[in-house]
Structure 1
Amino acid sequence: MTTEHEIQHEPRVTEDQDHILAHNVDEEPVEPNRRLFDGWLLKLVTVMTIAYSSFHLYSLNIEPMETWSFRIVHVAGALVLGFMLYAGARFASDDDRVVRHRWTTWAAGIVMLPALYALYQGFAFYQMLQGGAMRVEPEVEAWHFGWPLIVATAGGIVISWFHQRGRARFSAPDLVLMVCSLAVAAYLLVIYNTPLRMSTGTSFAPIGISFAAVAGTALILEMTRRVAGMALVIIGLVFLVYVFTGEYLPGFLGYPGLTVQRFFSQVYTDAGILGPTTAVSSTYIILFIIFAAFLQASKVGDYFVNFAFACAGRSRGGPAKVAIFASGLMGMINGTSAGNVVSTGSLTIPLMKKVGYKKQTAGAVEAAASTGGQIMPPIMGAGAFIMAEITGIPYTEIAVAAIIPAILYFASVYFMVDFEAAKTGMRGMREDELPKLSRLVKQCYLFIPIIILVVALFLGYSVIRSGTLAMVAAAMVSWLSPNKMGPRQILHALDIASVMAIQIIVVCAAAGVIVGVISLTGVGARFSSMLLDIAAHSDLLALIFAMFISILLGMGMPTTAAYAVAASVVAPGLVDLGIEPLTAHFFVFYFAVVSAITPPVALASYAAAGISGANAMETSVASFRVGIAAFIVPFMFFYNSALLMDAPWFEVARALVTATIGVYLLSGGVMGWFGQIAANWMIRLVLIAAALLMIEGGGWTDLVGIVMGMAVLMVQRKRREPEVSIAS
């Protein structure tokens, strides 16, 4: 998984005789703060990661655990692995003759004592409750568990910021944090499996729950900082401050307030951290990450990219069009826009520059295409699963509804790329530079796992059963290819799946903190009331306001967390306006996704700029322009529900055709190229106006838009005739 920091990643282009082939495009990049162990430490971590993935497969398919217990173990396991693998400070360089900050090891040894004592007390409480005690005395919980845990957690986090050692060495402060994670989980597992669980959120709740929740929240936010940067941490802290200062705020932000004990006794329940986001990460997301790891181990990602090259590489601007198809296929599986940029972009961006694209344009195309992978059914990153969990709408219905919006988005990016290539006179790649399509067609059986997944879902199998079948199919199909998956490769897939999952699990838990604040303070309902007041003047104005809030909440955040927060804050307000829940959630989902290419904080664009060598802000502006359709499509399906398959087939077909024409006209207007000739500013304005007329989806507005487009085409052809005559 990717972070805001630069990621180490080697280009994935090799020469194979006279063909350019992709190799290891879906190999997981190594973040700068990830430890690279060797020897016995490497073996220990590998055993832990394999056990973590295997635990989920066993619990999801064979012997389910009690729901809250399963989610607690799920989060605790990600924290333990995360603190094992990701450092809290930069590594000591090879030039450092002396280990820096030796005091951190001694300090970690001191705070380890209260951490171990808190962990021991969790087991002691279990024995007390099993022995017939109704509850543990509050003073015992506070002084023998709570305060030692808080001291150890706070001390371990602060010490880890200064602890700098070599990349292959383990960290003593992080060992403290691993023990604290286990102590939090042990206590909550004990208490939540007794009748005391019913007291959460009341004055009768055991004080230890609040202590465990404070420590657990701090551990989650620290781990989020390490794997996803500061953006989500800052937003989470702002929401936590709001909990205790809201009673002093004016207007719709004000509320009576919550005490520390009442809030934290409830935030580590299904109203917050163990709520919808962790429910999804502990079931669907972890399962599909393991599925992606199986595809990676069987080299299906290489096949996807090579197949895209063979199909689209010869057309003008070929590598850019390859990026669209390959990134769409890969992005829907791996769940992060920036992560997909790093994997496929290391191959496609250099090739785009080679055929003539400016470096910022090359990065922008890859960023826009990778972001679009998050809205590509059937998997849609992880967004579809979270949407299904929050709304209660069946997953298959969400996947079907996403088909036309995804087509429109990728069609727009394709048109943008094609117009740019025509405008600058770019060539495609030569046939002798590309993989042989005839050879790749013989390996089309590698699509079977994806096909089985889709078919199983639409036959009515559960998402978990469908994902498991697809995973088994990936292993079986690999035996028809050169990359056969034996026991060693299967264990390797389970190993890398756990590492891939850490970021998104922790991010979902951090988003759960924010969701908990929203639900427990009622700020979401007050925001809905404000949207209703705005809509009294204009529905369009309310939608635009909701768009900006969704983008703002998503800036700098991974897609999963961005949508989870926006769905809690913005979507209920749209539903209160009378908008169908599916439409409302798709609306905020799209804008949460495109926040990855929206200046000034655009994670996907920044990742692409790191590969292309372009200025990050210039790349984000260019990717915003390339992905402009994503900002129009949500308004299209708001005004015309046929774009979400909610209409008779004739209406759906008409909406698809007219909307595609609309994004074609929009692309021509934005890029300044139409009818095989450059468009002046007047022509561009007319094209954009024609495209906007087709947003509403009404018969007359569509007709006027098409007439305007035809008129512009005729004008452009007349303008082109003299140029052709002069050229001939």
Structure 2
Amino acid sequence: MSTEHEIQHSPRVTEDEDHILAHNVDEEPVEANRRMFEGGLLKLVTLLTIAYSSFHLYTLNIAPLETWSFRIIHVAGALFLGFMLYAGARFVSAEEGEARHRWTNWIAGVAMLPALYAVYQSFAFYQMLNDGALRIAPELETWHYGWPLIAATAVGIVVSWFHQRGRGRFSLPDLVLMVCSVAVAAYLLVVFNTPIRMSTGTPFSPVGISFAAVAGSALILELTRRVAGMALVIIGLVFLAYVFAGPYLPGFLGYPGLSVKRFFSQVYTDAGILGPTTAVSSTYIILFIIFAAFLQASKVGDYFVNFAFAAAGRSRGGPAKVSIFASGLMGMINGTSAGNVVSTGSLTIPLMKKVGYKKTSAGAVEAAASTGGQIMPPIMGAGAFIMAEITGIPYTEIAIAAIIPAILYFASVYFMVDFEAAKTGMRGMREDELPKLGRLMKQCYLFVPIIILVVALFMGYSVIRAGTLATVSAAVVSWISPNKMGLRSILNALDLASIMSIQIIVVCAAAGIIVGVISLTGVGARFSVLLLDVAEHSNLLALIFAMFISILLGMGMPTTAAYAVAASVVAPGLVQLGIEPLTAHFFVFYFAVVSAITPPVALASYAAAGISGANAMETSVASFRIGIAAFIVPFMFFYNDALLMEAGWFEIARALVTATFGVYLLSGGVMGWFAKVAAPWLTRLLLIGAALLMIEGGLWTDLGGVAAAVLAFLMQRQRRARLAPAVS
């Protein structure tokens, strides 16, 4: 899902005789830079995408592949398909003719020669090793593989920036990059399947590994630019620059230094690109994307949104509350905040404007709700799987711990929306405008695949087995729904899954580069020392510092990459402060997620503004205000671990009740509405103070919060009594 480029997606606000509002909500929108092939080329691409998804299903469930080989093929396949489908420059308009900069084909044709030569040499090396050679001569690797690959990759990337053709035409510069992706993977497969692998990171490592890693990193960052924007690319380049500039930096940022060969010989191992992020994307994430594609093929997304309309549409500000429920449901089958906005916002935002919301508020509500979808168990925007991989904490424990924080977040957004609707006198939607709840209840079997997923996980099935069962059940359940999945629908789902997975896979690989820099340079450990120094003065100050770093590192990135990077830098320091690993990683995860609504780089807010027609920065500020609870909830973990289910049932229940009351008071204070009347500044400050006392979690602070809330209520009741004669 491209978050930087314009997304071609029209609102689907339609009604039929049953008042079903949502149609094709879960159709994957077409990014502005995605090619739309026709004829034989379309058939070839579709065959490749189906093969890519099928390869993962087969390997994960039937015939496991050696781990390194599997991850290399996983990344290489995403690069191959990504360069085939996503253009590096804009498409030409009808007025510009068929092409601009025709010279790009000539240069790409020349660059194809060294790219093909590098592929040939990879297989020649394989033959040499099979014939008994213990290693390849460095001169052979350098001049007959390394430099040809680097030259072809560099030329292919630069030329692709100027190559402008029609949307349905293929790109020769991108074909060069596809061949280079094969050359990188072919060499790594040759080396990683021999004892030479053990020499990575030492002076004895083959120089070819470093050349392959440089080219592979460049290809990953270029495709990341195309599918996820420049934010992650810039951060990745800054970290790569630090590898070589670090020895010259003062203070805690300085380190002894790494040579180019030593660093790049390790960055394409489990210390970097093939580490935790790719481990998760090649197993859990790709599997759940296939699951989501099967749900989309059976139109479950339409059902989720229509069910939300039927359940909440009649209450005041109805479409805004529908947005909350629908985004929470869609967030379970959608991997990015911005993608969630596009899926549900194209329907809910126009309806919010229809019942009286300003366009800025409409976009802000959708952005805040869609961001919440990323913290919604059981999938949590795939962040839960990376957290399990990094921490070693069982996935089921993480999913359980996420329940109360998700409740608090969505309750806060709901209260914000309700108070604003009451303050401005908005209506809900009429019954004759909404789907019939009774009719939709008859189709509640469409929730079965998600129920099977959750039950299987808690019965002790592996994540892979549970995800596969849920995927199969989605196809089976479709046979008792109006949208039966036949062979064509299943193949379409596999095709869609590959296209949906490209962004998340390449983003995880790009995050792996950053994680590699952090682990190989030791900057994460030095940050931990800095955090400990701050904590000597105040634990709260250290947490605030960690919050800002997590948000800063997460800005402009999808959930998985944002969390992976922030977890590598910030979480170890929090653990050294004595915070439990689960609490520390949830703290980092939440702030990485809410960076999507944090100005100035608020991707979810910008996506919502594109649909609502509002100013992007104003929308991001408004969504920040609506999602303000998300900036307080992580501090609640620190003061009260019962909110992560780390206590007895009585403590957990008390923490949930008091924290929910706390976010209710916080919402009233932020929105300026309490006890059925607008609140002046003094009352608002009192409400916010009461909320913070309730959120802290201690008995005396809870009593203090209740006392402050009662005082605010009495003040508001007096105010309402004074205003009543004026109103009458």
Tell me the TM-score range normalised by the shorter chain.
Answer: over 0.9
Counterpart in the other structure of 1:652: 652
Counterpart in the other structure of 2:491: 491
* Partner SS, residue 202 of structure 2: coil
Instruction: For 2:435 and 2:695, locate their aligned partners in 1 and report how far apart those are by CA, in whole Å.
Output: 40
Asked if structure 1 preserves the Cα contact closer than 8 Å seen for 2:478 and 2:484, the reply is yes
Deviation per CA, 1:82-107: give whole Å up to 9, x if none: 00000001111111136211110010
Counterpart in the other structure of 1:671: 671
Question: Following TM superposition, by how much is the alpha carbon of 1:279 offset from its aligned partner in structure 2, in angstroms?
Answer: 0.3
Counterpart in the other structure of 1:709: 709
Question: Following TM superposition, by how much is the alpha carbon of 1:288 offset from its aligned partner in structure 2, in angstroms?
Answer: 0.3
Task: Name structure 1 gaps, 5 residues minimum.
Answer: none
Asked if structure 1 preserves the Cα contact closer than 8 Å seen for 2:231 and 2:556, the reply is yes
Instruction: For 1:326 and 1:651, locate their aligned partners in 2 and report how far apart those are by CA, in whole Å.
Output: 31
Question: Following TM superposition, by how much is the alpha carbon of 1:332 offset from its aligned partner in structure 2, in angstroms?
Answer: 2.5
Counterpart in the other structure of 2:294: 294
1:456 lines up with 2:456 in the alignment: yes
Instruction: For 1:547 and 1:402, locate their aligned partners in 2 and report how far apart those are by CA, in whole Å.
Output: 18
1:632 lines up with 2:632 in the alignment: yes
| TM-score normalised by L of structure 2 | 0.99
Instruction: For 1:640 and 1:684, locate their aligned partners in 2 and report how far apart those are by CA, in whole Å.
Output: 25
Instruction: For 1:489 and 1:182, locate their aligned partners in 2 and report how far apart those are by CA, in whole Å.
Output: 30
Residue correspondence of structure 1 range 522-533 to structure 2 within 5 A? 522-533=522-533
* Partner SS, residue 585 of structure 2: helix
Asked if structure 2 preserves the Cα contact closer than 8 Å seen for 1:583 and 1:638, the reply is yes
Deviation per CA, 1:432-460: give whole Å up to 9, x if none: 00000000000000000000000000000
Asked if structure 1 preserves the Cα contact closer than 8 Å seen for 2:450 and 2:470, the reply is yes
Question: Following TM superposition, by how much is the alpha carbon of 1:518 offset from its aligned partner in structure 2, in angstroms?
Answer: 0.2
Instruction: For 2:608 and 2:2, locate their aligned partners in 1 and report how far apart those are by CA, in whole Å.
Output: 12
Deviation per CA, 1:538-557: give whole Å up to 9, x if none: 00000000000000001111
Deviation per CA, 1:657-709: give whole Å up to 9, x if none: 00000000000000000000000000000000111112321000011001111
Residue correspondence of structure 1 range 40-189 to structure 2 within 5 A? 40-97=40-97, 99-189=99-189
Asked if structure 1 preserves the Cα contact closer than 8 Å seen for 2:693 and 2:705, the reply is yes
* Partner SS, residue 295 of structure 1: helix
Instruction: For 1:472 and 1:17, locate their aligned partners in 2 and report how far apart those are by CA, in whole Å.
Output: 32
Instruction: For 1:226 and 1:724, locate their aligned partners in 2 and report how far apart those are by CA, in whole Å.
Output: 58
The letter for the 1-side match of 2:458 is F
Counterpart in the other structure of 1:345: 345
Residue correspondence of structure 1 range 680-719 to structure 2 within 5 A? 680-719=680-719
Counterpart in the other structure of 1:9: 9
Instruction: For 1:98 and 1:23, locate their aligned partners in 2 and report how far apart those are by CA, in whole Å.
Output: 35
Instruction: For 1:26 and 1:560, locate their aligned partners in 2 and report how far apart those are by CA, in whole Å.
Output: 21
* Partner SS, residue 368 of structure 2: helix
Counterpart in the other structure of 1:409: 409
* Partner SS, residue 22 of structure 1: coil
Instruction: For 1:311 and 1:23, locate their aligned partners in 2 and report how far apart those are by CA, in whole Å.
Output: 17
Question: Following TM superposition, by how much is the alpha carbon of 1:18 offset from its aligned partner in structure 2, in angstroms?
Answer: 6.2
Asked if structure 2 preserves the Cα contact closer than 8 Å seen for 1:320 and 1:366, the reply is yes
Superposed CA RMSD in Å reads 0.8
Question: Following TM superposition, by how much is the alpha carbon of 1:2 offset from its aligned partner in structure 2, in angstroms?
Answer: 2.9
Question: Following TM superposition, by how much is the alpha carbon of 1:643 offset from its aligned partner in structure 2, in angstroms?
Answer: 0.3
Instruction: For 1:2 and 1:614, locate their aligned partners in 2 and report how far apart those are by CA, in whole Å.
Output: 20
Deviation per CA, 1:619-677: give whole Å up to 9, x if none: 00000000000000000111000000000000000000000000000000000000000
Question: Following TM superposition, by how much is the alpha carbon of 1:6 offset from its aligned partner in structure 2, in angstroms?
Answer: 1.6
Residue correspondence of structure 1 range 319-398 to structure 2 within 5 A? 319-398=319-398
Question: Following TM superposition, by how much is the alpha carbon of 1:13 offset from its aligned partner in structure 2, in angstroms?
Answer: 1.3
1:433 lines up with 2:433 in the alignment: yes
Asked if structure 2 preserves the Cα contact closer than 8 Å seen for 1:2 and 1:29, the reply is no
* Partner SS, residue 165 of structure 2: coil
Question: Following TM superposition, by how much is the alpha carbon of 1:716 offset from its aligned partner in structure 2, in angstroms?
Answer: 1.1
Instruction: For 1:471 and 1:2, locate their aligned partners in 2 and report how far apart those are by CA, in whole Å.
Output: 25
Residue correspondence of structure 1 range 241-256 to structure 2 within 5 A? 241-256=241-256
* Partner SS, residue 334 of structure 1: coil
Instruction: For 1:626 and 1:98, locate their aligned partners in 2 and report how far apart those are by CA, in whole Å.
Output: 47
Asked if structure 2 preserves the Cα contact closer than 8 Å seen for 1:668 and 1:687, the reply is yes
Deviation per CA, 1:129-176: give whole Å up to 9, x if none: 011110110000111100100000001001101111000000000000
The letter for the 2-side match of 1:138 is P
Counterpart in the other structure of 2:594: 594
* Partner SS, residue 294 of structure 1: helix
Instruction: For 2:650 and 2:18, locate their aligned partners in 1 and report how far apart those are by CA, in whole Å.
Output: 48
Question: Following TM superposition, by how much is the alpha carbon of 1:483 offset from its aligned partner in structure 2, in angstroms?
Answer: 0.1
Instruction: For 1:2 and 1:249, locate their aligned partners in 2 and report how far apart those are by CA, in whole Å.
Output: 35
Asked if structure 2 preserves the Cα contact closer than 8 Å seen for 1:26 and 1:301, the reply is yes
The letter for the 2-side match of 1:723 is L
* Partner SS, residue 428 of structure 2: coil
Residue correspondence of structure 1 range 435-584 to structure 2 within 5 A? 435-584=435-584
Question: Following TM superposition, by how much is the alpha carbon of 1:715 offset from its aligned partner in structure 2, in angstroms?
Answer: 1.8
Instruction: For 1:68 and 1:385, locate their aligned partners in 2 and report how far apart those are by CA, in whole Å.
Output: 19
Deviation per CA, 1:569-610: give whole Å up to 9, x if none: 000000000000000000000000000000000000000000
Instruction: For 1:513 and 1:201, locate their aligned partners in 2 and report how far apart those are by CA, in whole Å.
Output: 15
Question: Following TM superposition, by how much is the alpha carbon of 1:710 offset from its aligned partner in structure 2, in angstroms?
Answer: 1.4
Asked if structure 2 preserves the Cα contact closer than 8 Å seen for 1:642 and 1:651, the reply is yes
Asked if structure 1 preserves the Cα contact closer than 8 Å seen for 2:214 and 2:264, the reply is yes
Deviation per CA, 1:403-425: give whole Å up to 9, x if none: 00000000000000000000000
* Partner SS, residue 647 of structure 1: coil
Instruction: For 2:558 and 2:714, locate their aligned partners in 1 and report how far apart those are by CA, in whole Å.
Output: 45
The letter for the 2-side match of 1:625 is R
Instruction: For 2:165 and 2:269, locate their aligned partners in 1 and report how far apart those are by CA, in whole Å.
Output: 37
The letter for the 2-side match of 1:516 is G
Instruction: For 2:98 and 2:682, locate their aligned partners in 1 and report how far apart those are by CA, in whole Å.
Output: 67
Instruction: For 2:2 and 2:507, locate their aligned partners in 1 and report how far apart those are by CA, in whole Å.
Output: 12
Aligned residues: percent identity?
A: 84
* Partner SS, residue 429 of structure 2: coil
Instruction: For 1:399 and 1:17, locate their aligned partners in 2 and report how far apart those are by CA, in whole Å.
Output: 40
The letter for the 1-side match of 2:135 is R
Asked if structure 2 preserves the Cα contact closer than 8 Å seen for 1:13 and 1:20, the reply is no
Instruction: For 1:348 and 1:563, locate their aligned partners in 2 and report how far apart those are by CA, in whole Å.
Output: 28
Question: Following TM superposition, by how much is the alpha carbon of 1:20 offset from its aligned partner in structure 2, in angstroms?
Answer: 4.5
Deviation per CA, 1:281-335: give whole Å up to 9, x if none: 0000000000000000000000000000000000000000000000011012211
Instruction: For 1:2 and 1:372, locate their aligned partners in 2 and report how far apart those are by CA, in whole Å.
Output: 19
Question: Following TM superposition, by how much is the alpha carbon of 1:726 offset from its aligned partner in structure 2, in angstroms?
Answer: 5.0
Counterpart in the other structure of 1:269: 269
Asked if structure 2 preserves the Cα contact closer than 8 Å seen for 1:333 and 1:380, the reply is no
Instruction: For 2:379 and 2:153, locate their aligned partners in 1 and report how far apart those are by CA, in whole Å.
Output: 37
Question: Following TM superposition, by how much is the alpha carbon of 1:723 offset from its aligned partner in structure 2, in angstroms?
Answer: 3.4
Asked if structure 1 preserves the Cα contact closer than 8 Å seen for 2:313 and 2:428, the reply is yes
Asked if structure 2 preserves the Cα contact closer than 8 Å seen for 1:18 and 1:432, the reply is no
Counterpart in the other structure of 1:316: 316
| TM-score normalised by L of structure 1 | 0.99
* Partner SS, residue 14 of structure 2: strand
Counterpart in the other structure of 2:32: 32
1:613 lines up with 2:613 in the alignment: yes
The letter for the 1-side match of 2:109 is G
Asked if structure 1 preserves the Cα contact closer than 8 Å seen for 2:687 and 2:712, the reply is yes
Asked if structure 2 preserves the Cα contact closer than 8 Å seen for 1:111 and 1:176, the reply is yes
The letter for the 2-side match of 1:685 is L
Instruction: For 1:327 and 1:58, locate their aligned partners in 2 and report how far apart those are by CA, in whole Å.
Output: 32
The letter for the 1-side match of 2:115 is A
Question: Following TM superposition, by how much is the alpha carbon of 1:534 offset from its aligned partner in structure 2, in angstroms?
Answer: 0.2
